[in-house]
Structure 1
């Protein structure tokens, strides 16, 4: 496995202008996932964010997550939340076996259940079409989706594990770690380096360290709202 640290440093921009360009809109030095996918925006240069590139593709009332940018909000935008998250890279061995053989691939027919589970568990920005961004796997009981995990950002040699959720009634059974290891194995075997994001105050950060991830960097994350169409 190998990857360019310059790509990982700007992974949101690299994904939105690379493998996920077909799911993106915007111009100049700004991109967003189109409506229905994860509500994320990225800038080519977070130190000089090109909000003009979003003028025609973001409407009043929309909310977005943004990584690394720390400046003041321009006219027509409002910062609703500021925190930080860890970007973590897998540093362990490839799992020997499929640890979640009971999981099935999630498809469009499962999207409403996946969105409902994400809204309940709040793993991060998630939309009805997010499961189209990569492989998503789910575990069902009696027809109900009780756990899932999948892939979101991707760029050369890198693939993100994201959307990790377990229904409150199914917690404590090791379903989320099993799904993560399933994805780890699949990604490593195809030559990708797995990585993920976790909020700085989320206790699961320590679990990821024990699993074999390492902290790559801590970065600012903001939730922005478009307050007016300019």
Structure 2
């Protein structure tokens, strides 16, 4: 598969590019502002400048960090480590919106989105994460059954993220329809879709079946500021 330099280092390119206004840090290290997804990234993952983050980090905060395998520096500890796949869309997007009945998530849906993400654990998620892109969901009354939306961005690239379905509503294909809706929207505006999935997540096979291909496998850690 053709290499895309910005996709190779997408967390940094998003934090220091399209999402810079939602982040804090320096030209060497950045984090999403508190309330957004707890993610940090470095200009040079081989030499991560954790010290540069000190003014913007509170002791006890947990962050996701990818593509870094060194020892934890003083003042930090590694809480968890695994690998994840970065998958790039390589299929044919729907010719029409397959989920016209899905509702756009607005600011007043933020608590419901966070509650669903806390239950389903689709990845790092905060009360303001739905501000990072377009999010859509299906509701049963006031209850959010399923959602999916957009997070990381770079020119010509947009991530599908926050994909989850409440256990009480699984098996209805809701998340798959929401993903297809986003694929259609991305195609319409000329973006290439991609997503992340942990190596142990059985959804990896679902995404392969849908038309995503493994672009790379990278280390991901949860680190804690002490």
Shorter chain as denominator, the TM-score bin is over 0.9
Show the counterpart of 1:105.
Answer: 104
Show the counterpart of 1:167.
Answer: 166
Matched pairs, number: 225
Indicate whether 1:184 and 2:171 are aligned.
no
How far, CA to CA, are the matches of 2:27 and 2:8 in structure 1? 20
How far, CA to CA, are the matches of 1:188 and 1:54 in structure 2? 36
The normalised TM-score by structure 1 is 0.96
- Give secondary structure in 1 for the equivalent of 2:204: helix
How far, CA to CA, are the matches of 1:62 and 1:153 in structure 2? 21
Deviation at 1:28, TM superposition (A): 3.5
Contact 1:80 1:222 in 2 (8 A): yes
1:34-45 equivalence runs, <5 A: 34-45=33-44
Show the counterpart of 1:141.
Answer: 140
Show the counterpart of 1:120.
Answer: 119
Alpha-carbon displacement from aligned partner over 1:58-83 (angstroms, at most 9, x marks no partner): 11010000010100000000000000
Contact 1:165 1:176 in 2 (8 A): yes
How far, CA to CA, are the matches of 1:8 and 1:135 in structure 2? 20
How far, CA to CA, are the matches of 1:133 and 1:93 in structure 2? 25
RMSD (CA atoms): 1.0
Deviation at 1:4, TM superposition (A): 7.0
How far, CA to CA, are the matches of 2:202 and 2:42 in structure 1? 29
Gaps of 5+ in 2: none
Q: Which moved more, 1:120-129 or 1:91-100?
A: 91-100
Contact 1:65 1:223 in 2 (8 A): yes
Deviation at 1:100, TM superposition (A): 1.3
Deviation at 1:216, TM superposition (A): 0.1
- Give secondary structure in 1 for the equivalent of 2:55: coil
- Give secondary structure in 1 for the equivalent of 2:193: strand
Deviation at 1:136, TM superposition (A): 0.2
Show the counterpart of 1:75.
Answer: 74
Show the counterpart of 1:27.
Answer: 26
Contact 2:132 2:150 in 1 (8 A): yes
Alpha-carbon displacement from aligned partner over 1:39-72 (angstroms, at most 9, x marks no partner): 0000001000011210111110100000101000
Show the counterpart of 1:214.
Answer: 213
The normalised TM-score by structure 2 is 0.98
Deviation at 1:99, TM superposition (A): 1.5
How far, CA to CA, are the matches of 1:198 and 1:80 in structure 2? 19
Gaps of 5+ in 1: none
Show the counterpart of 1:15.
Answer: 14
- Give secondary structure in 1 for the equivalent of 2:109: helix
Contact 1:123 1:164 in 2 (8 A): yes
How far, CA to CA, are the matches of 1:161 and 1:151 in structure 2? 5
Deviating above 6 A after TM superposition, structure 1's stretches of 4 or more consecutive aligned residues are none
